Structure formats: structure tokens, C-alpha cells
């Protein structure tokens, strides 16, 4: 009985992580929200949830309910009269390709920078106290895991103050909401993203010294508690929130979202997709949302052998990348205590990290495939899909030298293409599958290989990725969100929205690689005709 009561209290506390006393657009505009999002007024469902109401939502809803059934009612006109619609992601900035890609990135830092400010009344935007960088395109707000890879380039540009501001914003979000949301919108307050905060703090420590580890220790611990909610009360084979108790009694983690409703920013797509699934709608929506927390929305990584979105089962999967990041978070907290001379807490978190590392090796390594895999905690075996997240144990030095050797062989044989590393070996039409490639995963692979002295392959990947970026820039004047690395003459596809340019994490990783690797055999500064 006491255990049940304790679990109830944990459930109650967990609700506080997801609740901000701030209403989302769906909650502010019941009926109108559904009508707009299902009507195709806006091709992108994110447009309406990012729109700012011109007046009190209660008055807007009253007028909507009074007018909607009258002859001649025009929903599009009503929305335009009552909301400030965000401008399309197009600006007057004209790329000067002849100035070179480095100059372009320097200019983009200014284009993508935003001032810390308050949000308009009734807006879905969450205010931030410090200046920040947005990814670009349709992404008009700060995003969690994107920002780490953006910071890599900011560091190369010696913009330490901006890195400091970004980290202060994330610390602010942790203190205010108990975690870092997916992005700074009210409709993202039910989930986080891959926990890179400790990596950000570590990056800043390269410029400002280890004192930053103790400065942000309270926020590091709060984030850790968010991811570990419910863990203490689990029985073997049970899960609560982001925590899972494995067959051997170990605690590992999964992606999770507090809501089981369609995503507000992709409402119609989720509603339509749910019509095809055999899952209960609430289960399907939560699996979709959990995949959004992973950042991999979407990929066959989360699907069954049919490779279809309707089979998505994210919450049944213990992801190798997430657990590697939490291993690093545990080590970072341990180091912060060590710096304070607190040997007791240092040993507590070192022991947590040691246990997690042992569990990752036990459950995620596939001897038959020579690769680190995600683990299906319900079916009690690794998932069948090879994905590039298998390099995370290299980045965090969890893999043995023998495992690193085998992973190197798999990378060469299955992932390495003419333009870089594909995300998975499956072609599904989803954006986080073959033939697409993403800057964050290239970087993690390159770093991981270097940790195990696989410098030749790391250099090959870096040079192929740089050449892909530069070639597209020279032909389009743009740096893209993702790239096709199998046929580099074709744009990347898939996803729930058109290909975005800007682009924060692409800029950051590319600039980092340009400064650390010999440039590929292509002129990085002038167009091919020059």
C-alpha cells in the first residue's frame, strides 16, 4: 500500500514536469483549433500553432461559436482577422556564393540570432532571458539537441558569450519547468529531446574552465531526476515515464511523452495516420510523440518489420543513444561533485554510470551484427534495424576496442556512401532513413572513431560530408537541414515538411570540421566556375 501511494505521488510530481500553467493553442481555442488544423488552410500545421492571437482567446472563441454555422462563414478570413500569422520562412538575405562558405556561415549566425525577450500575450512561444540561435526555416524557436551542434560552430567562431547565453537559457528552462522541452513552445511542454545539456556545459568548460560544471550542477541534477522519474518504484519488466527496469534489474531509459493526443504542430498528419494503425489511438499518439522526443521523427528504427509508421512502438524500445547520453550525464554530475571535494556523491554517480555502462554492453551489443543496437524491453531482444546511433558508444568510450573494430567494419560496409554516412540502411521514405544523412550523426561518428584511433575512416567521413555540404552550397547558396548522401545530386526527402535551409546544426558541424580537417579537393571559397 505504501509503495502504491509513493508511486501515486511520483505520478503527481511527474505531471508538474509537463505542466507549466500555460495553455497550448488546442486548449485556448477548442473547436476552432481542430477546425483549422483539419481544414488545410495552412499546408504546414505548425503555422497556426505559432500564430499570435490579436485579442483575448475567450472573445475569439465566443465569436467563432456565434458565427461558424451562419451562411457564408469563411474560416480562412476569420483566422486572418483574429491572428497574426507567422511570415513564411523566407528572408531578404541574398547569398554571395563567391564570398565563400565560411563568410556565409558568419552571416547566418546573425540571421539566425534572436534576442532574449518576453513572448506576446497568448502566444505559444515560451520567453527566454538570454540571446539564442534558432535552427532556421519553419523552426522559429530554440530547439534542444539542435543547439549543441550549433554551439560547435559558435565555438569555432569564438562566440563564447552566445554559447553562455544558450546554456543559461537551458538552465532557466530546467529551473522553470523541471526539464528542457523539445522546443520553446507551449505545445512542446510534454516532452524533452536527447539530453545534450551536459555536453553543452562540457563544451563551455573548454573556454571557461571546469568551474562551469559546479555552476550548473543544480540544473544537471534536475535534468537527471526528470529522466529517472519513477525508476525507484519499478518491478522487473515494468516502465514508468522515461525509466525501464530491465530483465536483470538494471534501470535504463526510453523516450516518452506525457500526452497521448495528436501533436498540435502536426495535428492532421497524426489524426490521419491513426486511422491506419491497429493500436489504440492514445498508444499510437504517444509512440509518435516519443519518437519526436528522440529527434528521429520518423524512422524505421521505431517500426516493426513492416516498416510502416502505423506500426510505431517507440515506448517499447530502450535506445542506445539516449542511454549513452545519460551515462555521460551521470559522469558529468560525478565530476562536478569531485571538483567540490564531495567524495560521497562523486562515488554515487560514478557507480550509477558504471552500472549503466555495464547494462548498455549487456543489452545493446549485438555480437551477430557487430553493432550496438536498440533493445526491445518487451520482446527482450535487440531490435532488427541497424541505425547510425550505434556509434554513440564510441563517442562515449563505452565500447571495447574489439567492438570498435567490428563497428568500423560495419560502418565501411553498410553506412559509408559517397556523400557521408546514411542514417539507417533501410529505404522507407521517412526522413531519418536511407538515403538521408544528418550533421549531428556525422559528427558523433567522426568523434567516436577518433576515440578509438580510427583516424583514416574518420577523415574520410569528414571530407565526404564537407564536400557534400560545399557542393550543395555552390549550386544553391544554401546549407540544408539534411542531405542525400547516396545520390548527392538529388535533394534529401521525406519528413512532414519541405526541406529546410538555414541551418543551425549543419552550420555548426561543418565549421567545426572545416577547422579540424584538411579540406576536401574542392574550392571552398569560390564557385566551380572560378
Taking only the tens place, the pLDDT of each residue in 180-235 is 999 999 999 999 999 999 999 999 999 999 999 999 999 999 999 999 999 999 99
State residue 17's pLDDT score: 45
71 domain-assigned: yes
**pLDDT, tens only, 437-469:** 999 999 999 999 999 999 999 999 999 999 999
* CA dist., res. 253 & res. 225, Å (int): 12
State residue 14's pLDDT score: 43
* Structural domain count of the chain: 2
Domain extent for 40: 34-84
Question: For residue 52, what are the β-bridge partners?
Answer: 84
pLDDT band at 498; cut points 50, 70, 90: confident
Last residue of a domain, one of 67, 84, 101: 84
Tell which residue, 439, 441, 508, has the closest CA to residue 153: 508
Q: What is the mean pLDDT of the chain?
A: 93
Q: Which three cell numbers stand for residue 386?
A: 541497424
DSSP state of 321: H
192 domain-assigned: no
Q: Which three cell numbers stand for residue 511?
A: 565549421
Last residue of a domain, one of 58, 84, 110: 84
Q: Report which of residues 405 and 488 the model is more confident about.
A: 405
Cα distances (angstroms) measured from residue 56 to each of 22, 48, 59: 14, 16, 5
- Residues with Cβ within 8 Å of 65's Cβ and at least 6 positions away in sequence, in order, are 31
Cα distances (angstroms) measured from residue 325 to each of 144, 293, 441, 444: 14, 14, 14, 12
Last residue of a domain, one of 84, 101, 123: 84
* CA dist., res. 69 & res. 341, Å (int): 69
Residue 330 C-alpha from the chain's centroid: 20
203 domain-assigned: no
At 306 the three-state DSSP class reads coil
Question: For residue 317, what are the β-bridge partners?
Answer: 376
pLDDT band at 41; cut points 50, 70, 90: very high
Q: Is 258 a catalytic residue?
A: no
- Vertex 438: Cα angle to 392 and 193 (nearest 5): 60
Q: Cβ distance 333 to 349 under 8 Å?
A: yes
Q: Is 481 a catalytic residue?
A: yes
- Residues with Cβ within 8 Å of 185's Cβ and at least 6 positions away in sequence, in order, are 49, 50, 124, 125, 126, 141, 265
| Residue whose cell numbers read 501515486 | 8
DSSP for 104-138, written as a single string: HHHHHHHHHEE--BPPPTT-SBPPBSS-EE--BTT
DSSP for 267-302, written as a single string: HHHHHHHHTT-SS-HHHHHHHHHHHHHHT--S-GGG
305 domain-assigned: no
Count of all residues that appear for the chain in the document: 530
Cα distances (angstroms) measured from residue 149 to each of 109, 156, 224: 13, 12, 21
Query: 320-340 vs 343-364: helix axis angle to the nearest 10?
Result: 160
Strands (E), 128-216: 132-133
* CA dist., res. 309 & res. 300, Å (int): 8
- Could you tell me what percent of the chain has a pLDDT over 70? 93
Report the b/e string of 376-408 with b at 16+ CB within 10 A.
bbeeeebbebbbbbbbbbbbbebbeeebbebbb
258 domain-assigned: no
Per annotation, catalytic residue among 264, 316, 407, 481: 481
Per annotation, catalytic residue among 141, 297, 395, 407: 297
* CA dist., res. 193 & res. 311, Å (int): 22
151 domain-assigned: no
Sign of the Cα pseudo-torsion (133, 135, 136, 137, in order) = negative
196 domain-assigned: no
Query: What does pTM read for this prediction?
Result: 0.94
**pLDDT, tens only, 141-163:** 999 999 999 999 999 999 999 99
451 domain-assigned: yes
Cα distances (angstroms) measured from residue 340 to each of 198, 210, 219, 352, 484: 17, 11, 16, 19, 47
* CA dist., res. 62 & res. 432, Å (int): 42
pLDDT band at 521; cut points 50, 70, 90: low
Amino acid at each position: 500500500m505504501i509503495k502504491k501511494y509513493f508511486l501515486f505521488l511520483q505520478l503527481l510530481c511527474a505531471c508538474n514536469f509537463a505542466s507549466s500553467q500555460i495553455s497550448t493553442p488546442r486548449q485556448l481555442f477548442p473547436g476552432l483549433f481542430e477546425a483549422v488544423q483539419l481544414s488545410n488552410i495552412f499546408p504546414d500545421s505548425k503555422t497556426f500553432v505559432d500564430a499570435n492571437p490579436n485579442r483575448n482567446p475567450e472573445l475569439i472563441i465566443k465569436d467563432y461559436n456565434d458565427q461558424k454555422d451562419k451562411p457564408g462563414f469563411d474560416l480562412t478570413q476569420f483566422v486572418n482577422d483574429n491572428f497574426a500569422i507567422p511570415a513564411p520562412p523566407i528572408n531578404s538575405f541574398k547569398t554571395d556564393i563567391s564570398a565563400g562558405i565560411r563568410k556565409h556561415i558568419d552571416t547566418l549566425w546573425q540571421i539566425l540570432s534572436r534576442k532574449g525577450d518576453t513572448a506576446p500575450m497568448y502566444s505559444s512561444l515560451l520567453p527566454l532571458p538570454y540571446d539564442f540561435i534558432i535552427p532556421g526555416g519553419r523552426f522559429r524557436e530554440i530547439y534542444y539537441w539542435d543547439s549543441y551542434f550549433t554551439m560547435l560552430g559558435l565555438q569555432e567562431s569564438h562566440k563564447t558569450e552566445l554559447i553562455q547565453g544558450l546554456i543559461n537559457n537551458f538552465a532557466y528552462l530546467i529551473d522553470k519547468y523541471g526539464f528542457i522541452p523539445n522546443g520553446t513552445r507551449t505545445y512542446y511542454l510534454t516532452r524533452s529531446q536527447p539530453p545534450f545539456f551536459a555536453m553543452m556545459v562540457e563544451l563551455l568548460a573548454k573556454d571557461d574552465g571546469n568551474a562551469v560544471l559546479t555552476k550548473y550542477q543544480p540544473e544537471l541534477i534536475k535534468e537527471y531526476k526528470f529522466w529517472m522519474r519513477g525508476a525507484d518504484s519499478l518491478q522487473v519488466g515494468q516502465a514508468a515515464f522515461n525509466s525501464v527496469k530491465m530483465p536483470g534489474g538494471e534501470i535504463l531509459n526510453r523516450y516518452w511523452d506525457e500526452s497521448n493526443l495528436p501533436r498540435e504542430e502536426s495535428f492532421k498528419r497524426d489524426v490521419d495516420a491513426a486511422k491506419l494503425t491497429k493500436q489504440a489511438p492514445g498508444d499510437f499518439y504517444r509512440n509518435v510523440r516519443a519518437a519526436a522526443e528522440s529527434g528521429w521523427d520518423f524512422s524505421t528504427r521505431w517500426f516493426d518489420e513492416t516498416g510502416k509508421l502505423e506500426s510505431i512502438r517507440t515506448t517499447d524500445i530502450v535506445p542506445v543513444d539516449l542511454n549513452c547520453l545519460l551515462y555521460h550525464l551521470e559522469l558529468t554530475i560525478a565530476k562536478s561533485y569531485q571538483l567540490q571535494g564531495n567524495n560521497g556523491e562523486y562515488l554515487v554517480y560514478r557507480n550509477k554510470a558504471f552500472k549503466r555502462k555495464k547494462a548498455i554492453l549487456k543489452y545493446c551489443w549485438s555480437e551477430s551484427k557487430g553493432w550496438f543496437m536498440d533493445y526491445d524491453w518487451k520482446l527482450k531482444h535487440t531490435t532488427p534495424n541497424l541505425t547510425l546511433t550505434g556509434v554513440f558508444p564510441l563517442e562515449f568510450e563505452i565500447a571495447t576496442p574489439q567492438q570498435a573494430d567490428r563497428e568500423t567494419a560495419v560502418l565501411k560496409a553498410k553506412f559509408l556512401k559517397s556523400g557521408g554516412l546514411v542514417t539507417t540502411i533501410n529505404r522507407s521514405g521517412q526522413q531519418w532513413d536511407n538515403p538521408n544523412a544528418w550533421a549531428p550523426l556525422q559528427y558523433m561518428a567522426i568523434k567516436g572513431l577518433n576515440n578509438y584511433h580510427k583516424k583514416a575512416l574518420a577523415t574520410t567521413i569528414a571530407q565526404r560530408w564537407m564536400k557534400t555540404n560545399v557542393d550543395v552550397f555552390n549550386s544553391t547558396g544554401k546549407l540544408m537541414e539534411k542531405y542525400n548522401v547516396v545520390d548527392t545530386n538529388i535533394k534529401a526527402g521525406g519528413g512532414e515538411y519541405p526541406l529546410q535551409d538555414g541551418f543551425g546544426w549543419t552550420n555548426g558541424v561543418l565549421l567545426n570540421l572545416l577547422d579540424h580537417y584538411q579540406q576536401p579537393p574542392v574550392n571552398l571559397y569560390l564557385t566551380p566556375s572560378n
